[in-house]
Amino acid sequence: MTDLDRVLSRAIAAGASAGVVAAAGSAKGIFYLGAAGKRRIDDDAPMTTDSIFRIFSMTKAIAGVAAAKLVERGQLDLDAPVSDYLPEFADLQVLVGFDGDTPILRAPKRQATVRQLATHTSGLVYEFWNANIKKYLEVMDRPGFLSGTKLGISYPLVFDPGERWDYGVGMDWLGLVIEKASGKRLDAFCRDEIFVPLGMSDTGFECPPEKRSRLVSVHARQEDGSLVPITLDPPSNPEIYGAGFGLYSTARDYMTFLLMLLNDGSYKGAQILKPATVNYILQNHIDELEVVNLVTVNPAVTHDAEFFPGMSKKHSLITMINMEPARGMRSAGSHCWAGALNTYFWFDPLNAIAGVVLMQQIPFCDPLCTDVLVDFEKAVYAYMPASV
């Protein structure tokens, strides 16, 4: 048993999760892939390295790469107003507050651009971290983004585009832009342009019946610390696929995607992006703005969410960037993000290292789960053999 294996086994013993799969790799390939625990807390079926996870917001980085392919081809202009591709986007107004239960709305000072969708600076936010949007959905009896409908992402803005960073459904609108610019459904575009070329055979917006035996159950942390299975799936065959949340994947598949980025857009003989494009999309695209702490308004779904408190953080077209090194872990200029069910990834271009840690439970940013991420990442950097 390696130190990396011990991190996973300790996590299960500590009750961090019912089961976990983790992977680490260098530009040369995956050098660790391990699993511990069970797919479901009340079942004996063991967690395996080919287990399938709902990766939720880890979908965003893949959708960002899909958009970058269209930019390469001259089919997408990042600085064009979103309404150039989706005229209905111009109808979204800014939610100022409420008069009782009546929303107070005004026109935005400027129209959001495609780039601002990708960088979470468009004014769109999630209801889990914004009390006004949470109330808006309730009083207007509106579906949320998990409905898989266009109405379900038609939230009002909460600030004028470009004024700050705040996290939300902008990537789901970017998925619609990708469809309009490419002429293909989002699932088909990602399949043809990313998944098939890279051999990511277990990644997609649907989990077909023949693979559902490998699908990990979702759990919810109870007040006593125990885990109880719940049902929480992206919608099947929806009106719109969620570019911000809709994918299923495995640790091996997602590592393949990350290693493509570490290898300047090419991996396993497939060139997904040109090296210059990878360099461009990984730059800071929010200028002087900062990625900030997300304060929960729905503790059953998420804790407060902030990686590396006190550290300057920026956003590329696909990921968060830590601007300072993390002791014993990733270097400055590394990239990361996560999914709502406690799935996490990072990649470190300076050291050519990437890692994935996958669990399936709410609330997001469960302290026991983030401890697993930190412990695994530290073990990866301590382990890093010279040959990787």
The predicted-structure confidence for 261-290, as pLDDT tens digits, reads as follows 999 999 999 999 999 999 999 999 999 999
Residues 39 and 134 occupy one common structural domain: no
Between CA 299 and CA 306 the distance in angstroms is 15
Give buried/exposed letters for 289-316 (b at 16+ CB in 10 A, else e). bebeebebbbeebbbebebbeeeebbbb
The pLDDT assigned to 2 comes to 87
- 179, 214, 242: which is the final residue of a domain? 179
Q: Are 21 and 46 spatial neighbours (Cβ–Cβ below 8 Å)?
A: no
State the total domains in the chain: 2
- Element of type H or E holding 34: strand 29-37
What values do phi and psi take at 134, rounded to 5? -60, -45
Q: Is 348 helix (H, G, I), strand (E, B) or coil?
A: strand
Strand order in the sheet with 361-362: 227-230, 218-221, 361-362
Q: Which residue in 26, 57, 217, 334 is the catalytic one?
A: 57
pTM of the model: 0.98
Q: Is residue 42 situated within a structural domain?
A: yes
Residues 67 and 213 occupy one common structural domain: yes
Q: Are 100 and 106 spatial neighbours (Cβ–Cβ below 8 Å)?
A: no
How many alpha carbons lie under 13 Å from residue 100 in its C-beta half-sphere?
1
Strand partners, 52: 215
Q: Is residue 167 flagged as an active site residue?
A: yes
The predicted-structure confidence for 200-224, as pLDDT tens digits, reads as follows 999 999 999 999 999 999 999 999 9
How wide is the angle at C-alpha 340 spanned by C-alphas 268 and 310, nearest 5°?
95
Residue that has been written with the tokens 């990313």 in this structure: 194
Which residues span the domain enclosing 103?
A: 82-179
Residues 25 and 146 occupy one common structural domain: no
Q: Which residue in 26, 38, 51, 60 is the catalytic one?
A: 60
Mean pLDDT of 296-300: 98
| Number of Cβ atoms within 10 Å of the Cβ of 102 | 10
Residues 190 and 132 occupy one common structural domain: no
- 137, 160, 179: which is the final residue of a domain? 179
Q: Are 241 and 186 spatial neighbours (Cβ–Cβ below 8 Å)?
A: yes
Mean pLDDT of 215-243: 97
The predicted-structure confidence for 53-105, as pLDDT tens digits, reads as follows 999 999 999 999 999 999 999 999 999 999 999 999 999 999 999 999 999 99
Q: Is residue 180 flagged as an active site residue?
A: no
Residues 234 and 315 occupy one common structural domain: yes
Residues 191 and 171 occupy one common structural domain: no
The predicted-structure confidence for 365-382, as pLDDT tens digits, reads as follows 999 999 999 999 999 999
Q: Does 383 score more than 90 pLDDT? A: no
- 154, 179, 204: which is the final residue of a domain? 179
Q: Which residue in 85, 126, 167, 267 is the catalytic one?
A: 167
Q: Does 386 score more than 60 pLDDT? A: no
Q: Is residue 28 flagged as an active site residue?
A: no
Q: Does 354 score more than 70 pLDDT? A: yes
Q: Is residue 388 situated within a structural domain?
A: no
Whose CA is closest to 169, among 77, 277, 89, 91?
Answer: 89
The pLDDT assigned to 373 comes to 99
Whose CA is closest to 22, among 5, 41, 39, 44?
Answer: 5
DSSP 177-230: HHHHHHSS-HHHHHIIIIIHHHT-TT-BSS--GGGGGGBPPEEEE-TTS-EEEE
What values do phi and psi take at 216, rounded to 5? -75, 140
Q: Is residue 323 situated within a structural domain?
A: yes
Mean pLDDT (the chain, rounded)? 97
The predicted-structure confidence for 250-260, as pLDDT tens digits, reads as follows 999 999 999 99
Q: Is 94 helix (H, G, I), strand (E, B) or coil?
A: strand
Residues 166 and 246 occupy one common structural domain: no
**What would the two tokens of residue 267 be?**
């991996």
